[in-house]
């Protein structure tokens, strides 16, 4: 009887695992990567596409010059590319310097949203447009390769599109924007559901075109960004035990739960798909909550900003900018040691923090969370 019980348990485990394929968490091996997202993974798209003015301090830690990234150095995507032993990703919109796209292409641009952009959007390159760019890129690459095989040193092979890793790190700007307009909890939930429908549709388009390996980042603790705290955290009652804006983190939690469910629904209708859902929220909140254990000294203050403690952030002046504030000429300068800070400029993370997050991702401890197995879709 004991043997029969063990066999039954093993068969049940195998059945559950068949619904959630495991993408190798510690040893990533893909011929190419295609990334869709916002400034959290933008490696120069907004700068190339809109000539967005990049402060001189961005990139200072690693690249020693502005690199198109909203960070003092490398982003999470950069560290992941290093782990895969692939070159850093070139943005689709970059045309100067003969960029190579042999190992993939980055369609992420700062300010991008899941929902289509409007006239007030920072970036016109929302998720649907990034997808259109990808399909044009793929069609154009395959057409050129059919005419000139030497271009295989610069463009992905046809088979590489099917074997590639497709990364999604987007939605923070959609969620951020909700709080600047009056909305009930029910309206916020309905809005998030709309985001999931849009994301699911886009992923299905990629799947139907041959994509099989999907890597989905959930959104981080939005309420812990200095910019959000400075705007919505003026009342102590709005803050949680970490000093973060509670309403924004609650919304992020709802977003992540629905993103989680969407991945399972997508998987149920896409039997050949491999999806890794990565819990960025938990990694970042753990870092902020236990910052001193990981060698950081400032959990919430911006490294590059103005105003001093506790946030060193002023909504009137961005990192690297010099302007007249109340009759005084001031500059939002960077801190002396970026490795002591989690936040870079009020919205984005430092290279040190990004490196920590990437290391935690690569442990596999925050991927394919066990509670996925308890989803109603698996009962």
Which residues are known to be catalytic? 39, 345, 348
Work out whether the CA dihedral 285, 286, 290, 294 comes out positive or negative: negative
Structure-token match 């990703």, residue found? 89
Query: Measured in whole angstroms, how far is the alpha carbon of residue 250 from the centre of its chain?
Result: 18
Q: Between the CA of residue 135 and those of 47, 131, 142, what are the distances in Å?
A: 22, 6, 11
Cα atoms found within 13 Å of the Cα of residue 70, Cβ hemisphere only:
23
Phi, psi of 326 (to 5 degrees): 55, 40
| C-beta neighbour count of 100 within 10 angstroms | 13
Q: Are strands 298-302 and 274-278 parallel, antiparallel or unpaired?
A: unpaired
Task: Say if CB 147 and CB 159 are below 8 A apart.
Answer: no
Strands 328-331 vs 322-325: parallel, antiparallel or unpaired: antiparallel
Contacts of 197 (CB under 8 A, 6+ apart): none
Q: CA–CA distance from 121 to each of 70, 210, 352 (Å)?
A: 17, 31, 29
d(CA 94, CA 362): 29
Backbone angles phi, psi at 167, to 5 degrees: -105, 140
6-11 contacts: CB < 8 A, separation 24 or more?
none
Location of structure tokens 């995507």: 77
Distance of CA 76 to the CA centre of its chain: 8
């Amino acid at each position: 009887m004991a043997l029969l019980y063990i066999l039954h348990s093993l068969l049940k485990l195998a059945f559950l695992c068949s619904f959630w394929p495991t993408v190798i968490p510690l040893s990533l091996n893909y011929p190419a990567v295609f990334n869709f997202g916002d400034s959290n993974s933008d490696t120069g798209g907004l700068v190339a596409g809109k000539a967005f003015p990049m402060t001189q301090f961005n990139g200072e830690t690693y690249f020693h010059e502005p690199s198109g990234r909203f960070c003092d150095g490398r982003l999470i995507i950069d560290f992941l590319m290093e782990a895969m032993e692939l070159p850093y990703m070139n943005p689709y919109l970059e045309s100067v310097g003969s960029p190579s796209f042999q190992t993939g292409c980055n369609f992420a641009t700062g300010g991008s949203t899941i929902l289509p952009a409007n006239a007030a959007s920072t970036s016109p390159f929302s998720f649907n447009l990034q997808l259109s760019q990808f399909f044009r890129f793929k069609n154009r690459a395959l057409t050129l390769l059919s005419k000139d095989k030497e271009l295989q040193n610069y463009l992905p092979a046809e088979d590489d599109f099917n074997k590639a890793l497709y990364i999604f790190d987007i939605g923070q700007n959609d969620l951020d924007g909700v709080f600047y307009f009056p909305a009930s909890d029910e309206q916020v939930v309905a809005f998030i559901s709309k985001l999931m429908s849009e994301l699911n549709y886009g992923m299905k388009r990629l799947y139907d075109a041959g994509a099989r390996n999907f890597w989905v980042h959930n959104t981080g603790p939005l309420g812990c960004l200095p910019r959000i705290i400075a705007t919505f955290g003026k009342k102590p009652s709005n803050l949680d035990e970490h000093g973060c804006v509670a309403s924004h983190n609650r919304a992020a939690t709802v977003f992540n739960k629905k993103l989680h469910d969407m991945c399972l629904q997508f998987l149920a209708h896409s039997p050949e798909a491999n999806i890794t859902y990565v819990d960025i929220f938990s990694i970042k909140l753990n870092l902020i909550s236990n910052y001193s254990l990981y060698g950081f000294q400032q959990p919430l203050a911006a490294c590059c900003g103005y105003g001093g403690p506790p946030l060193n952030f002023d909504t009137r002046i961005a990192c690297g900018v010099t302007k007249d504030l109340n009759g005084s000429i001031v500059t939002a300068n960077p801190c002396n040691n970026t490795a002591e800070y989690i936040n870079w400029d009020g919205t984005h993370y430092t290279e040190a923090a990004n490196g920590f997050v990437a290391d935690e991702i690569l442990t596999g401890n925050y991927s394919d969370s066990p509670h996925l197995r308890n989803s109603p879709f698996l009962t």
